[in-house]
Amino acid sequence: MALPKITGKFDGAIQKSSQEQKIAELQAEVERLRAQSSPELEVELQKLREQLQNQSGELEIDLELIDPNPNQPRQTITSESIQVKARLLKKHGQISPIILVPQGNGRYMLLDGQLRTQAAKLLEWQTIRALVVPMPEDLDSNALMTFLGFEDLNPLDKAEAIATYITKSIGYSVDESITVLATAIKRIERDGKSKELTKLVALSAQEQQEGLEELGIIGNEQDLLLLLLELGLNPASVKANLMPMLGLPQDLKDAIRQRGLKGAHALALVTISAKSLGLSEKEATKERVKATDQVLKKNLTVPETRDLIKQIKAKYSKVEKTESKKVKTVIQKVRELSSIQMADVSFEQLQELRSLFAQKLAEIDKVVSETETE
């Protein structure tokens, strides 16, 4: 896959002319490698860190002067992950610097290194080593590319970050994005061209556009799919695995962010709904939360989670009861029994018939009552 142009983040970071020339040479080298599609994003970012460190050196920045990027893709950092990183920092020290951009008021915005910064605060460090670079032209795009390239985002954060980027880039709302993407992918799958779409991820932008046109993807569909391909994402995978995250109920979103629930498990658990169980929304949510607790406590696999869901649904499913021919015959006979016919029947037989009807009516009431409470 072609790499995103991350080197623009560092333009002008070094003030001296000789140092600027060295940076320009570094950028030219990265562009050459990009053309060959040889390195990965994380590797190149690390190389740039190392080269910039050699050219500009690192600064010790007061942690109190660092602000988070409000539009960064990662919205979830668990306390457990911060504690793990803090233990590593305490044991090994800070191996690589974070990257900051100046905000013009003596403060800095964090571009890369959110987890390390939080861990340093937990350790009550006063300062942290950092590289300070100019503000990127497109902060949202650069941040998203950085995170998609080498950060382990949970699927909810990733889906929301992509949806936000789509809205800012081409103006599609979440609902429009979902509809346009689903329509395009459905047509590609119907034509049996899914493999051709997957191959486009590794091609150049021009080849991607030409490939989409060959697949019959034009107009707003092409705008959306080109944007996803630019991010190195397979549109079919985004449609199947990420877009559904946006419609999850709040209890499952909370479980993903706060308790580490996996996306595949969440997509299975969402089928425990008011409609599928025949319950109110409140009752169905309660069942779903209980099931989520079991999944997390027992560390269930996705197949095990689906088995659990089947058991829950079976508990609430009502058995479809077929119409009895025998009862239908009895009903017909009773309807045919007129008062004129009964006028010629003996008193004893009428008493017996009334007693029998009363008995059967009581039995019917009992069965109906039990059915209503199931």
Specify the range with the lowest mean pLDDT, choosing from 145-149, 176-180, 232-236: 145-149
Domain boundary among 275, 296, 316: 316
Residue 19 within any structural domain of the chain? yes
For residue 131, the domain's CATH number is 3.90.1530.10
Question: Which two three-digit tokens encode residue 57?
Answer: 């050196």
pLDDT of 311 strictly over 80: yes
**Which residue bears the tokens 């990127």?**
136
pLDDT of 2 strictly over 80: no
**Which residue in 20, 10, 17, 83 sits closest to 44, CA to CA?**
10
What pLDDT score was predicted for residue 335? 85
167 shares its domain with 55 = no
Confidence of residue 135 (pLDDT cuts 50, 70, 90): low
Report the chain's mean pLDDT, rounded to a whole number. 79
31 shares its domain with 160 = no
pLDDT tens string 78-105: 777 788 888 888 888 888 888 888 887 8
229 shares its domain with 254 = no
265 shares its domain with 190 = no
What pLDDT score was predicted for residue 321? 61
What pLDDT score was predicted for residue 43? 63
What pLDDT score was predicted for residue 244? 92
Domain boundary among 244, 259, 290: 244
- Number of structural domains (the chain) is 4
Specify the range with the lowest mean pLDDT, choosing from 27-31, 167-171, 187-191: 27-31
Of residues 54 and 108, more confidence is placed in: 108
The CA distance from 370 to 134, in Å, is: 73
pLDDT > 70: what percent of the chain? 75
Reported for 9-13, long-range contacts at CB under 8 A and 24+ positions apart, including other chains, are: 9/99, 9/111, 9/133, 9/134, 9/136, 9/142, 10/48, 10/52, 10/133, 10/134, 11/134, 12/134, 13/52, 13/56, 13/131, 13/132, 13/133, 13/134
Residue 2 within any structural domain of the chain? no
pLDDT of 139 strictly over 70: no
Domain boundary among 144, 174, 203: 144
Note down the domain range covering 119. 7-144
